[in-house]
Amino acid sequence: MLKTLTPLLWTLFSAGGMLAALLYPVHLLLTGFAIPLGWVPAPSYPALHDLVAHPLARLYLFALIALPLFHWAHRFRYTLYDGLQLKHLEALIAVLCYGTALLGALVAAWTLWSFR
């Protein structure tokens, strides 16, 4: 089953990789450093809340979380496969990697869908 899905999984990997490459540096810089350490005026809670609530923002955030998770799943699966030569655990690794990504994507979808 995994073989027929490979083109899809690779596409998710590529899309996630492109999103992460383009957008993660700035988001990480802001979320991890600039805002907590006060380098920039922090957005107030109400402003942040309204921003996330916007339908476009919800879609954006879903893509920003879910696709890079699939990027990780695909890449990490091959790293374990080639780097640690765990070929005999192939099916288990695939299930754990894509399963985790799917779980993360579902939680993100649920959180953003039910955001009030």
Partner 1 sequence: MPETVKLEVTRYRPEQEDEPSFATYEVPFRKDWVVLDALNYIKDRLDGTLSFRWSCRMGVCGSCGMRVDGEPKLTCATFLADYLPGPIRVEPLEHFPIVRDLVVDLSDFLRKLTKVKPWIVREHEKPVEEGEYLQTPEQLDAYKPLSMCINCMLCYSACPIYGLEQSFIGPAAIALAQRYSRDSRDQGAAERLKLLQQTDGIWQCTFVGECSAVCPKNVDPAGAIQQYKLEAATQWFLSLLPRGGR
Partner 2 sequence: MTMSSSAPAHYRPYHPKWYRQRVSVWWWLEKPVYALFVLRELTSVAVAFFALMLLALIRAVAAGPEAYARFQAKLQSPLFLVLDGIALALVLFHTVTWFNVAPKALVVRIGGRRVPDALVAGAHYAAWLGLSGVVAYVLLRG
Nearer to partner 1, 50 or 82 (CB): 82
Sites of contact with partner 2 (CB under 8 A): 16-18, 20-33, 35-37, 40-45, 47-49, 51-52, 61, 64-66, 68-69, 71-72, 75-76, 78-79, 83-85, 104, 107-108, 111-112, 114-116
Q: Which of 47, 50, 82, 92 binds partner 1 (CB under 8 A)?
A: 82
Which residue do the tokens 């030569």 mark? 85
Q: Which pair of structure tokens corresponds to residue 58?
A: 């919800």
Q: Biggest alpha carbon distance in the chain? A: 52
Q: Which of 39, 78, 110, 115 binds partner 1 (CB under 8 A)?
A: 78
Binding partner of 55, given partner 2, partner 1, none, CB within 5-8 angstroms per partner class: none
DSSP string, the chain: -HHHHHHHHHHHHHHHHHHHHHHHHHHHHIIIIITTTTSSPPPPHHHHHHHHHSHHHHHHHHHHHHHHHHHHHHHHHHHHHHHS--GGGHHHHHHHHHHHHHHHHHHHHHHHHT--
CB of 2 to partner 2, least distance (A): 18
- Contact residues toward partner 1 (CB under 8 A) are 3, 6-8, 10-11, 14, 78, 82, 85, 87
